[in-house]
Amino acid sequence: MSYRLDAFKKASFCRHFENQVYQNAQKKHIKFPMYLSAGQEYIPASIATIMESKGIEPNIFIQHRGHSTYLSFGASPVELVDELLGKKTGCAGGMGGSASIHSHEKNIFGHDGLMGSQVPIAVGHCYSTRKPTIVTMGDASAEEDYVMGALGWASTKNLPILFIVEDNNLSILTEKKVRRNWEMDDVAKAFKMKAVNIQDDPLVIKMHLEDYNFEGPMLLNINTNRKYWHSGAGQDGDNFDRYENELKALGEEATKIDLENKQLVEKLWEQQLGIQ
């Protein structure tokens, strides 16, 4: 299978998973706030596909809206469903909810709820292990002061760490231009780190990661669009949808994969909800 189809397979699974989460939250099967990553799934789907092709198993530090990162890097969807249903068999024993998910098996580290705290924690972990590390943050979390301090130290120590900013231009509903007049790639460059500001196009992401082998820190600010609001309370309007775009562009084979994923995810939720 081609890189683009591999990435689509992951992204499509994530999209159907998040649609199910949204629907089950609407039906009150899920009883606490959900932080959905639909619309942004092409970022982790692309990066995970590239890492697999390189045979790299990174340590991964995520934040809320991290379902797609968790799923793309191969952590258990059954355990994620159980977590969202508050079961002890969930990936965080039913304590993590939507925001604090993790996976021992896939080296995915959970988040404590303080926006952006995963960034300095990832930097410290990477300093100690010197293993390839990926840390994701939103464009709002990136503004936290301790994120800046961590970027500076990672650069000073030349750590093998990839910073990913999932930039949907919004903090809840406040646009980036209201909050700041600068971009994260400029900040990273000021810290003497490689950095780019790109779209969530899987081919563009691949182009920037193809020759990157964690020889030092790098930051990708990736522009994207979210489908659901913060906490899944509503839906954004008619934004460009990378998943829909790829589904159309990739044709029949993608349509088949997409249908299989939809059925797989629906069955998974029915099974874990105990619906016959």
Binding site for another protein (CB under 8 A): 92-93, 95-96, 100, 102, 104, 109-110, 112-114, 117, 119-129, 145-150, 152-153, 156
* Minimum CB–partner distance for residue 180 and another protein (Å): 19
Instruction: Using CB atoms within 10 Å of the CB of residue 172, give its burial: 0 to 12 exposed, 13 to 18 middle, 19+ buried.
Output: exposed
Tokens of 190: 């000021």
User: Nearer Cβ to another protein, position 110 or 132?
Assistant: 110
User: Nearer Cβ to another protein, position 11 or 193?
Assistant: 193
* Minimum CB–partner distance for residue 165 and another protein (Å): 17
* Minimum CB–partner distance for residue 195 and another protein (Å): 18
User: Nearer Cβ to another protein, position 15 or 102?
Assistant: 102
* Minimum CB–partner distance for residue 157 and another protein (Å): 9
Structural element, H or E, at residue 135: strand 133-138
In 3D space, the residue among 77, 79, 86, 58 whose CA is nearest the CA of residue 14 turns out to be 77
Contact 257, 264 (CB under 8 A): no
* Minimum CB–partner distance for residue 239 and another protein (Å): 33
Tokens of 257: 């994969």
CA distance 177 to 184: 13
User: Nearer Cβ to another protein, position 28 or 88?
Assistant: 88
User: Nearer Cβ to another protein, position 120 or 202?
Assistant: 120
Phi, psi of 164 (to 5 degrees): -115, 120
CA distance 139 to 133: 19
